[in-house]
Structure 1
Amino acid sequence: MNYALQWLRSLIFVGQMYLMMVIMGLLFTPWMIIDRRGAYAGIHTYCRWVRWTASWMVGLKSEIRGTVPSGELIIASKHQSFFDIIMIVSVVPRPKFIMKHTLKWAPILGAYAARIGCVAVNRGKRGEAVRKMVADVASGRQRPGQLIIYPQGTRVAPGVERPYKVGTGVLYTELNQTCVPAATNVGVFWPRTGIYRKPGLAVVEFLEPVEPGMETGAFMAHLEDVVETASDKLMAEAGFDVKPKA
Structure 2
Amino acid sequence: MTKAFRWVRSLLFIIQMYLMMPILGLLYLPWALFDRRGAYAAIHAYCKWVRWTAGWMVGLKTEIRGPVPVDEVIIASKHQSFLDIIMIASVIPRPKYIMKASLRFTPVLGWYASRIGCVPVERGRRAEAMRKMIQEVKHGDAPAGQLVIYPQGTRVAPGVDAPYKVGAGVLYRETGQPCVPAATNVGVFWPRHGIYRKPGLAVVEFLDPIPPGASVDSMMKVLKESVETRSDALMAEAGFRKTDS
Note if contact 1:235-1:242 (Cα within 8 Å) is conserved in structure 2: no
State the shift of 1:39 in Å.
Answer: 0.2
Note if contact 1:185-1:203 (Cα within 8 Å) is conserved in structure 2: yes
Output the CA distance in 2 between the equivalents of 1:128 and 1:70: 28
Higher alpha-carbon deviation: 60-69 or 120-129: 120-129
The residue aligned with 1:120 is 120
The residue aligned with 1:50 is 50
1:103-162 CA-to-partner distances (Å, cap 9, x unmatched) read 223222222111111112212221112101110012110111000000000000000000
The residue aligned with 1:106 is 106
Output the CA distance in 1 between the equivalents of 2:107 and 2:9: 28
Structure 1 runs (4+) deviating above 4 angstroms are none
Say if 2:72 is the partner of 1:64.
no
Secondary structure at 1:9 match in 2: helix
State the number of aligned residues: 243
Amino acid at match of 1:59: G
Output the CA distance in 2 between the equivalents of 1:60 and 1:110: 27
Output the CA distance in 2 between the equivalents of 1:194 and 1:152: 21
Note if contact 1:179-1:209 (Cα within 8 Å) is conserved in structure 2: yes
The residue aligned with 2:171 is 171
Amino acid at match of 1:71: D
When the two chains are superposed, the root-mean-square deviation of aligned CA atoms in Å is 1.0
Secondary structure at 1:37 match in 2: helix
The residue aligned with 1:152 is 152
Output the CA distance in 1 between the equivalents of 2:5 and 2:110: 35
The residue aligned with 1:185 is 185
Secondary structure at 2:242 match in 1: coil
Unaligned runs of 5+ in 1: none
The residue aligned with 1:237 is 237
Amino acid at match of 2:101: H
Secondary structure at 1:120 match in 2: strand
Note if contact 2:178-2:210 (Cα within 8 Å) is conserved in structure 1: yes
Identity %: 68
The residue aligned with 2:16 is 16
